[in-house]
Amino acid sequence: MAIRVQAEDFDVGAELAALSDGNTAVGGVASFVGLVRDVAGGDAVSAMTLEHYPGMTERQLAAIEAEARTRWPLDAVLIIHRHGRLLPGDRIVLAACASAHRAAAFEACWFLMDWLKTKAPFWKREETADGDRWVSAKEEDEAAADRWHTRTP
């Protein structure tokens, strides 16, 4: 298990290389990198600040990772989530899954992102020309996460 919550940026290539380094049973690594957009809801966004509760956040990410491992045969899982003030184009999150088979890696990575988006305890505030605003949960994100309650591989 590799879970990190950090302010610092990360090197995607180095992180993915380390995920399967020396494990020749891995047949594929699927990953997702989330970035800060410069537009949200039609408004220009100059920055986004992510807040979290240390300890609680890591425990919840570990629970999400453990759930993925119960559903798919994974050799390795990596979740890196940043906090603090980020600018458009900055990396926010990296989720990666290594497995002997690509289908398990793809599905588990998709699951991780759906559940991270809705169940990870991060609070996001966008900076716009009209002032700061908190980002609310979106119905489509909840619907995406809900599909995993009835779906198994």
pLDDT for 136 equals 82
Looking at the domain that runs over 2-140, which CATH code has it been given?
A: 3.90.1170.40
Residue ranges of the domains in the chain? Answer: 2-140
Tens of pLDDT, residue by residue over 62-96, are: 999 999 999 999 999 999 999 999 999 999 999 99
d(CA 20, CA 18): 6
pLDDT for 1 equals 59
